[in-house]
Amino acid sequence: MYFLDICGNPNLAPLWNVVGTVINIIWIGVPILLIILGSIDLGKAVISSKEDEVKKAKKALLNRIIYAVLVFCVVWIVGIVMDAISSIGIEGTDTTTWRTCWKQIRS
């Protein structure tokens, strides 16, 4: 039995639906939350009119934007890694099988 055959098991379909929902929430919600929180911090620093706090808040906002982009890119990175693994021909890693499984999880 291959590792990726677990997506074909109908008993695990509810689990994959939950996993797909969690992935979508993380993929969309975390970057939005990071950017909003960074903007709030920057707004507080600007209102306080302290130059040192504004510089710290700008740096924190930039870091949060970078983290948001990285979190957003995790899904693409997983796809690239899985494509690379399936293309080198490891036994049990068929490209069409993992793509079908990934689409099932994400939908």
Which residue ranges make up each domain of the chain?
A: 12-106
Q: Mean of the per-residue pLDDT values for the chain?
A: 79
What was the pLDDT predicted at 1?
43
| Higher-scoring residue by pLDDT: 3, 79 | 79
Cβ atoms of 86 and 94 within 8 Å: the answer is yes
Cβ atoms of 7 and 16 within 8 Å: the answer is yes
Prediction pTM value: 0.64
What was the pLDDT predicted at 41?
87
Q: How far apart are CA 23 and CA 76, in angstroms?
A: 12
User: Is 80 exceeded by the pLDDT of residue 55?
Assistant: yes
Q: How far apart are CA 98 and CA 83, in angstroms?
A: 9
Cβ atoms of 101 and 18 within 8 Å: the answer is no
How large a percentage of the chain has pLDDT more than 70?
85
In this predicted model, what pLDDT tens digit does every residue of 9-38 receive, in sequence order?
777 778 888 888 888 888 888 888 888 888
